[in-house]
Amino acid sequence: MARKIGIIVCWVGVMAVGVWLRFDGLSSRPFHCDEATGARITARRMESGNSQFDPQHFHGPLLSSLAMPLCRARGETCWQELTKGSLRLVPAIAGCLLVLLPLGWRRRWGDAPMLLAAALLATSPLLVYYSRMFIHESVFGLLGMLALMVVLTKPKWGLPGICIGLMFATRETFVISVIAWLGAAGLVALGRREWLTRSALTAGWRTWRLPLAFSVVSAALTAGYFYSDGLRHPAGVWDAVQTFFVYKTGAGHDKPFFYYLNFLTIPHKAGGLWWYGTPVVVLALVAFWASFRRGAMEENRRLTIRFFGYAALGHFIIYGLIAYKTPWLMVLPWAHVCVLAGLGVAGVAGTRRVWKGCVILLVSLTLISQYRQARYATGRLASDARNPFAYVPTRRDIEGIGPWMQQLAAKAPQHTVEPIAVIGSGYWPLPWYLRSFKSIGYWQQPPANLAELPMVLCVPESAEAVMTQLATTHTPRPRGLRDNVALTMFIRNDIWDAWMKPDEP
């Protein structure tokens, strides 16, 4: 009884830490540009009542489909009413559920390995940080690991297909995971030659052909339901297929093959802290190595560890070969590594005390280090370029631009700063912070009547042309937009003079 109580306390403690890291100060960090575009898509769906999927630029509709009921439940039904806290509830909840998933494997693999896996998932700075962003990756990571759990425990009757269909409805990169998983399964099978005999293959096909067919059909129906907006827009299914051929990635994200390896495993110091995931990789490698030792563990565990190892490696290789790279793409592969590292505890069960002591020490240091990195990453460095997870972060001073413009409007001769012009491209997440204003125009090039407008905002690429056109009519004021991207505000001189005029006593 005392052991059971201790185990329950440990699980509750792990979940409490995971929830705390994901929900504490959830709204404090400025909106990332990808979060702002996701919020705009969600708002348009809420306001119009339907969804039009863009196969060239956007990911799947599941994220906004999950966000809409949560926002409505909090009384937010349009673009102006949406808040960061409501939108970020979806990835935060998904991140917490990911921490809880190993609980479903505890009877199969034991409490100690799954507790460690859950603790690594709970404190991972990468998983924590992207569980606090309104982007697809946290939901995608949860669904990917759920698909594996279903395959390894209840693979029949199409359940894996539903999970994979939901992954497809989240983002098109689900095919990378499916390829990595199939490759991992093939490598595991090569290690068991008796599985590859003609009689074994024939028996396996007879056993699994119906579950496989059910899974393929359920995956197609599940994804099709969301892409067609609940069957209201059937053309969305074709758009979903097109995305594999017409999707366009943004410029400036091409990186070398070893980017993810350096990002996750090579320690580097920035912002007064060492950032690294090396101990987790070491634990995962220990588990993988132990799976090849005779007598180290029972056969099912050995094969599962190899599968996770091959699958994680497959993800890293495929993503490494793709030039377009962003750190949040590692959410699902890194979850594989965390579970694999947890399974490594079983690999030292029969070893000497000195090795057990080393593993316990390594686990303790890993969890402490991860927690500390996670707190820094979501605290004072949450929107700081020195934080390796804050990819193209938004400058904090952009948070005050809307309220300050409202104050300007209160003092303006016409008591308004509208219409507002935004000149250039790459201005996100600016529309999120200007959503309280009704009259805003966006131009790639300055329009002819620009000097007549009360307020003009432009990004660096357009600053020179705008400065020339507004040199005598507007006063420029600098602002920060994103890391290394400035924003210049041009305020018409009559409004600026009214703002600078001292208040009468």
What DSSP line would sit under 470-498, residue for residue?
TTTTEEEEEEEEETTEEEEEEEEHHHHHH
Q: How far apart are CA 160 and CA 215, in angstroms?
A: 6
| pLDDT value for 300 | 82
pLDDT value, residue 296:
61
What are 490's strand-pairing partners?
A: 456, 476
Q: Which pLDDT score, from 0 to 100, does residue 306 have?
A: 92
User: What's the pLDDT score for residue 211?
Assistant: 80
Quick one: average pLDDT of 57-73? 91
Buried b (16+ CB within 10 A) or exposed e, 412-432: beeebbbebbbbbebbbbbbb
Tell me, what DSSP letter sits at residue 254? B
Q: Which helix (H) or strand (E) holds 211?
A: helix 198-227
Portion of the chain with pLDDT greater than 90, in percent: 55
Contact 124, 369 (CB under 8 A): no
pLDDT(194) > 80: no
pLDDT in tens, 168-181: 999 999 999 999 99
Amino acid of residue 249: T
> Is residue 326 classed as helix, strand or coil in its secondary structure?
coil
SS3 content of the chain, % helix, strand, coil (to 5): 65, 10, 30
**Of 213, 240, 241, nearest to 226 (Cα)?**
240
Distance, in Å, from the CA atom of 283 to the CA atom of 359, rounded to the nearest integer, reads 8
Gap between the Cα atoms of 490 and 269, Å rounded: 39
The model's pTM: 0.92
For the chain, the average pLDDT equals: 88
Strands 485-492 and 455-458: antiparallel
Assess whether pLDDT exceeds 70 at residue 498: yes
Cα separations in angstroms, 194 against 197, 229, 464: 6, 46, 71
- At residue 350, the pLDDT reads 56
**Which residues have CB under 8 Å from 244's CB, separation 6+?**
172, 175
Higher pLDDT, 453 or 349: 453
pLDDT band at 109 (very low <50, low <70, confident <90, very high): confident
Domain boundaries, the chain: 2-378, 396-500
Q: Is the pLDDT of residue 143 over 90?
A: yes
Residue 326 CB burial class (10 angstroms; 0-12, 13-18, ≥19): middle
List, for residues 311-370, the tens digit of each pLDDT value: 999 999 999 999 999 999 999 999 999 999 998 776 565 566 777 777 788 888 999 999
Q: In terms of Cα–Cα distance, which of 390, 377, 344 is closest to 363?
A: 344
When computed from its CA atoms, the radius of gyration of the chain, rounded to whole angstroms, is 26
Check whether 11 has a pLDDT greater than 60: yes
Task: Give the residue-averaged pLDDT of 114-141.
Answer: 96
